[in-house]
Amino acid sequence: MRNSRCVALAVLTVIAVTVMPLAGGTSTAAVRSSTTPTIGRQLAELKGSDTVARDDFGSSVAISGTTAVVGTSGTDYAGRAYVFTKTSSGWKQTAELMGSDVVAGDEFGASVSIWGTTVVVGAESHANNAGRAYVFTKTSSGWKQTAELKGSDTVANDWFGWSVTVFDRTIVVGATGHGNYAGRAYVFTNTAGVWKETAELKGSDTIDNDVFGCSVAISGTTAVVGAEGYANDAGAAYVFTETGNSWKQVAELKGFDTVVGDNFGSSVAVSGSTAVVGAFDHAKKAGRAYVFTNTAGVWKETAELKGSDTTAGDFFGYSVAISGTTAIVGAENIANKAGAAYVLTKTSAAWPQVAEVEGSDTAAGDWFGSSVAISGTTAVVGASGHAKYAGEAYVFEV
């Protein structure tokens, strides 16, 4: 099963890395009546220069400005991360990244993040599933690994690197297995060119099997960490703020109508004073995404999002991203698992859907929307199941 990246602990590795065909999947094109408005125009279709079937290219994506990073946890499950740059003639692959000590089975590329000239890549299965995160910096001679991160108290089966995020000089890494799957998130700060752990985060009420850290996001001095296993998989998300030299929890978020099994917090995103949290199992797995706004220091739910055509089993909210007043939400199971992604824009009164996008050649079983990222007016959407799970990623104008 591939229903959750964090909750189904007994099949944790399979969920995150090995994207197996689901029953009923075919290779025929999915039929869905939809039009692609100008706002959802596809700009490019990306694939790795050496990716092949079962590489799961697109299982993770990130973008900052004119640079995108796409992870593939396949390739003998050692994994890779590919860097693409927008040029005058289109998007071109400019680097293929791999951790200096990564070996088969490490799942390098299962999570990726980028900020400016810094890329972070998670390898959750490294060292008997203790996990690592690798930092790469763009130099005049290309992308170079500049750090290898691990938690100060992480051990085997902690899955450090399950999720990663970077903003300026701060990196947050999730370790879902730590403490009997209670989970942790670790904060690293770059001081004088050296990355050092400066905080270890946990939810104020998280316990065993809450998988705190299954998703992480950061914007400025605000970090959001998902714990989709909380309260029998109802889920929660925790907001932390950096004050001085420490990080303090300032809010615990839950969807207004989420219930046991909704997996709220399976995906999180934050931009300024707005956070988006996915709950892909809500409403018989139709899924939802919830918007929270910080007003005068208080985080409150301000919108509940769903796709205009999503129904039971579509997994809307499996992935979320936000940049300013534009959010993108993936629903990887819609149309016989062909998948789709929805673009929503904040107005004075609500978050209306402005586009539904799909890849120009995606078909049933492609899982388009398994990962999403946005920077400014450009979005990247992964389709890890495309072409016998070789995978692809698509760039859109949003």
Look up the CATH number of the domain holding residue 312.
Answer: 2.130.10.130
At residue 75, the pLDDT reads 59
At residue 28, the pLDDT reads 31
Q: Is residue 3 part of a domain?
A: no
Q: Is residue 2 part of a domain?
A: no
At residue 244, the pLDDT reads 86
Q: Is residue 74 part of a domain?
A: yes
Q: Sheet of 222-227: strands edge to edge?
A: 215-219, 222-227, 236-243, 246-253
pTM, entire model: 0.91
Look up the domain containing 147 and give its range.
9-22+37-397
Q: Is residue 70 part of a domain?
A: yes
- Name the nearest CA neighbour of 374 among 241, 236, 276: 276
3-state DSSP helix/strand/coil percent for the chain, to nearest 5?
10, 50, 40
At residue 247, the pLDDT reads 98
At residue 361, the pLDDT reads 98
Q: Is residue 190 part of a domain?
A: yes
Q: Is residue 30 part of a domain?
A: no
Q: Is residue 4 part of a domain?
A: no
Q: Is residue 275 part of a domain?
A: yes
**What's the domain count of the chain?**
1
Instruction: Per residue of the chain (398 residues), give pLDDT as tens.
Output: 233 445 333 222 222 222 222 222 322 333 344 444 478 999 999 999 999 999 999 999 999 999 999 999 875 789 999 999 999 999 999 999 999 999 999 999 999 999 999 999 999 999 999 999 999 999 999 999 999 999 999 999 999 999 999 999 999 999 999 999 999 999 999 999 999 999 999 999 999 999 999 999 999 999 999 999 999 999 999 999 999 889 999 999 999 999 999 999 999 999 999 999 999 999 999 999 999 999 999 999 999 999 999 999 999 999 999 999 999 999 999 999 999 999 999 999 899 999 999 999 999 999 999 999 999 999 999 999 999 999 999 999 99
At residue 349, the pLDDT reads 86
- Name the nearest CA neighbour of 374 among 354, 391, 347, 350: 354
Amino acid making up residue 49: S
